[in-house]
């Protein structure tokens, strides 16, 4: 194995930090209708500050952070993707269906080799 | 109780009676809520008294009726989610083309919320300006005129899994109020003014003090 510089080593470490023991399966279906299943960091909620009071509040905001180099096609802003994640933090849990849309584009992380997708609730038309 | 307070309750009743389970109505301003509480037909309307502007010539010496312009704020909160063909994911025989078509035809949450709010504002405006509601549920003569003085839609805001959109409609009414004195001031006689126009048997103009 060739020597890796620090940046390359950091990206290589994503195999542990994002796709290792803490990871959950994520199913992505892109605009071409092609499915890819990867492991990634799945978070179901985040802590945000109430802009009026400064009080921290827990927001139900599912998002997944993935290793870019593990994706055969990387989502870009403005696209609509189906994203399925386990209902509970359990690798064998039933998958819930979400979508990623232009309402909330994916966040960078390119410097680290990651991409974060923000998931939205969807209902049948 | 003064009429502006009764009108708030009456507006809530008029809207609730006409809602047909398409929206919910509550009084007063709420402090906060989860986005999914106002999803779909759970969209929410808050009704409360915003401001009153008594006629400037109304005398503090008088105990008769006064008129004032009362503004009632009607706030809308709707939540949108993405509308998409999810069934295609459960269809094992679905082709990539069919899945791609489902993604292509998705209706985004912001657009869903926008349409929902437009529909709700139209509904409420039609209810409030309906000629049958000209008295706003009060006795004839209490409410003189009505205007929609403002109708505004805010920017959509992404809240976690959903998009939330809010809007405001301000209803202004010309309302008759009676100054009857406050209970804490006791039951002693107060000044009254009646109108007695010359040659007018209906309107009386004379001043009676401590009658």
Beta-sheet strands, E only, within chain B: 24-27, 44-54, 65-80, 82-84, 143-153, 157-159, 162-178, 192-196, 204-208
Whether the per-residue pLDDT at A3 is higher than 90: the answer is no
pLDDT: which is higher, A123 or B208: A123
Q: Categorize the per-residue pLDDT at B211 as very low, low, confident or very high, splitting at 50, 70 and 90.
A: very low
Least confident of A13-17, A74-78, B34-38, B55-59: B55-59
At A67-123, the pLDDT tens digits run 999 999 999 999 999 999 999 999 999 999 999 998 888 987 788 899 999 999 999
pLDDT of residue B192: 62
Q: Which of A29, A102, A125 sits opposite B108 (nearest CB)?
A: A102
Q: Which of B89, B109, B160 sits opposite A101 (nearest CB)?
A: B109
At B93-123, the pLDDT tens digits run 989 999 999 999 999 999 999 999 999 999 9
- B155 interaction partners in chain A (CB closer than 8 Å): none
What value does the mean pLDDT take over residues B18-39?
80
Interface check for A67 against chain B (CB to CB < 8 A): the answer is: no
- B83 interaction partners in chain A (CB closer than 8 Å): 122-125
Q: Categorize the per-residue pLDDT at A55 as very low, low, confident or very high, splitting at 50, 70 and 90.
A: confident
Least confident of A14-18, A54-58, A71-75, B148-152: A54-58
Least confident of A94-108, B30-44, B168-182, B186-200: B186-200
The closest alpha carbon to B112, from A124, A46, A29, belongs to A124
What value does the mean pLDDT take over residues B198-205?
62
Q: Which two tokens stand for residue B84?
A: 């998409």
pLDDT of residue B56: 76
> Which residues are bridge partners to A107 per DSSP?
A116
Interface check for A124 against chain B (CB to CB < 8 A): the answer is: yes
Chain B contact probe: residue of A103, A104, A117, A118 with most B CBs at under 10 A: A103
pLDDT of residue B210: 52
Chain B contact probe: residue of A64, A72, A80 with most B CBs at under 10 A: A80
Interface check for A29 against chain B (CB to CB < 8 A): the answer is: yes
In chain B, the residue whose alpha carbon lies closest to the alpha carbon of A31 is B100
Residue environment code for B76-99, b if the CB has 16+ CB neighbours within 10 A, otherwise e: bbbbbbbbbbbebbeeeebeeeeb
pLDDT of residue B27: 78
pLDDT of residue A60: 85
């Amino acid at each position: 194995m060739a020597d890796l510089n620090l940046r390359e080593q950091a990206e290589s470490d994503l195999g542990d930090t994002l796709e290792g023991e803490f990871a959950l399966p994520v199913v992505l279906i892109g605009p071409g209708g092609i499915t890819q299943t990867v492991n990634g960091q799945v978070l179901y909620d985040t802590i945000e500050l109430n802009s009026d009071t400064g009080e921290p509040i827990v927001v139900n905001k599912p998002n997944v952070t993935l290793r870019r180099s593990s994706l055969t096609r990387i989502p870009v802003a403005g696209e609509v993707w189906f994203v399925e994640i386990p209902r509970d933090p359990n690798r064998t849990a039933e998958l819930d269906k979400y979508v990623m849309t232009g309402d909330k584009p994916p966040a960078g992380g390119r410097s680290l080799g990651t991409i974060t997708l923000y998931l939205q609730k969807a209902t049948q038309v | 109780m003064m009429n502006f307070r009764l009108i708030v309750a009456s507006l809530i009743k008029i809207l609730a009676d006409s809602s047909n389970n398409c929206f919910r109505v509550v009084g007063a301003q709420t402090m906060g809520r989860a986005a999914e509480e106002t999803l779909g037909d759970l969209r929410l309307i808050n009704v409360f008294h915003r401001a009153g502007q008594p006629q400037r010539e109304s005398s503090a010496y008088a105990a008769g009726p006064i008129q004032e312009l009362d503004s009632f704020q009607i706030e809308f909160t709707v939540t949108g989610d993405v509308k998409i063909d999810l069934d295609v994911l459960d269809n094992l025989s679905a082709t990539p083309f069919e899945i791609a078509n489902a993604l292509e035809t998705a209706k985004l949450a912001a657009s869903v919320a926008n349409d929902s709010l437009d529909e709700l504002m139209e509904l409420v405006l039609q209810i409030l300006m309906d000629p049958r509601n000209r008295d706003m549920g009060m006795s004839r003569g209490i409410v003189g005129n009505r205007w929609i003085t403002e109708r505004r839609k805010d920017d959509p805001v992404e809240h976690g899994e959903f998009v939330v959109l809010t809007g405001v409609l301000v209803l202004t009414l010309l309302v008759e109020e009676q100054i009857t004195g406050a209970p804490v001031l006791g039951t002693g006689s107060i000044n009254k003014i009646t109108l007695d126009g010359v040659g007018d048997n209906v309107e009386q103009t004379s001043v009676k003090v401590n009658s």
